[in-house]
A and B are shown apart, each in its own frame.
Chain A
Amino acid sequence: MNRERAFDQVLRHWLDDGADQAPERYVWAAIEDVERTAQRGVWQASLKGTLMKVTPAMTVLSAAAVVLLAIVAYQVLGSSRFAPPAEPSSTPRLIVVADLSRILPPTEVDLNTGSPLPAVTGLQALGVLLPEGTDGFPQTGFIDARMTAHSGEGGYQTSSALFDTAADAQRGFDFLTTTLDVKSTHGWSLERTGEVPGLGDESLSYSGSAPFAGLRNVGVYLWRVNNVLLAVFQFNYTGNALHTLALEMDARAH
């Protein structure tokens, strides 16, 4: 028992000896990120709060009222008056795995051998956006992804990732943007350059460098079209095809 206590004591002393003050630069960096980040789920929380105030009796009464209205409407107007809609539904179509490669630009050819570069699939295809690994990536609803490989020391890489639902893709978008926002000595050193008008349902663009891979002139476009995430990554390259490539991919995703 004494040995046990002595070991506990050693542990306490050892743990006491360490940094106790957070360097302010990390706190300010986080606060800068906060300035650009919306809180999540405020409307869900308020909707939930509203729903919780609805009593079972109110729910039953509301349902009964809806049924009654439907019966009255049917009897008054007659079923024949309900004409089919003139236009097809405007609901966007759901993208499937077969679309992923089609959305991306053609796979590049290895400059040395002349043969097409191998396709990258699965979570690995998001690897370029997750320099520190894909372990933390929320895989709920993740189906598959594709990435075009690159053949030179600079250029573009493009990715498309398919999710079960638009909400799953939204979670992936949030995760990736949170990762891209973090500046670190072994990760990104990017600045948000804002949304890209006309690109997908939500979009963000970045520019800066990637210390983890020693890359300069990095530009990133990340956007979501319904249940698919799309990205263009530019590095060691000063061309201006980033925007054009993104618009072409976006058009193919619609």
Chain B
Amino acid sequence: MVEQAKLGDREAFTRLAFELSDHLFAVAHRILRDFDAAGDALQVTLLRIWRDLPSLRDPDRFEAWAYRVLLRACQDQLRRQNRQPRTLHLLAADAIAADPALAIVNREQLDRAFRTLTTEQRAAIVLQYYRDMSLPQIAEVLQVPIGTVRSRLHYAKRALRSAIDADSRPTTREGRTA
């Protein structure tokens, strides 16, 4: 199907689009945390996939390439909506060690905390914990070395915990976030 679509077969692309759309939308929705924005990102992604498909040299790498196109669309969405987070000052390691029990972390806290992450950090988290991708797979999608993926995940989780911790302690929150 990818090969056919690459050669300009619109019917093959239509089938491919329906096959891909659930996966792409689910990832976009988790990164953007917004249903409509995820739909817009999906629409742009499918169009860009069609437009740029002839430039894909190795059809075996289509999935990673498609996710890469999606992540760029998500990044555009976040930028355009001015949702790009401000830099979060990380808490010191000892402060994290004393973070509140995870059991009390609720969905809203996680949601707020997740929105403080950069697009790259969000992507790394979603690809690992939602898509269950390995570090080399994530590295291929993001086109960065494995070490960079590892470090993004580390800082993303640390930032999440910091934000959750700050969220749980409103009296000290102002001093900890930018």
Contact = CB atoms under 8 A, between A and B. Distances in A.
A136 B75 CA distance: 9
A81 interface: no
A24 to B, nearest CB: 8
Interface string B1-35: 00000001010011001100110111001100001
Interface of B is mostly: helix
Contact of B102 (A10, A17, A31, A182): A10
A132 interface: yes
Nearest to B73: A136
A33 interface: yes
B81 interface: yes
Interface string A1-26: 00100111011101111111111011
A41 B42 CA distance: 22
A29 B50 CA distance: 13
Given A18-B29, A26-B43, A133-B79, A45 B55 contact: yes
A22 B39 contact: yes
B35 A19 contact: yes
Given A133-B79, A136-B76, A40 B51 contact: yes
Interface residues of A, number: 45
Contact of B46 (A34, A45, A133): A34
A129 to B, nearest CB: 13
Contacts of A27: 17-18, 21, 42-43, 46
Interface stretch (B122-130, B137-145, B166-174): B122-130
A62 interface: no
A40 B47 contact: no
B105 to A, nearest CB: 6
A38 B161 CA distance: 46
A134 to B, nearest CB: 9
Interface string B69-112: 00000011101111000000000000000000010010100100
B110 A14 contact: yes
A27 to B, nearest CB: 5
Given A11-B157, A18-B29, A37-B51, 6 more contacts: A12-B130, A26-B25, A30-B50, A39-B52, A41-B55, A45-B54
Interface of B: 8, 10, 13-14, 17-18, 21-22, 24-26, 29-30, 35-36, 38-40, 42-48, 50-55, 75-77, 79-82, 102, 105, 107, 110, 125-126, 129-130, 157, 160-161
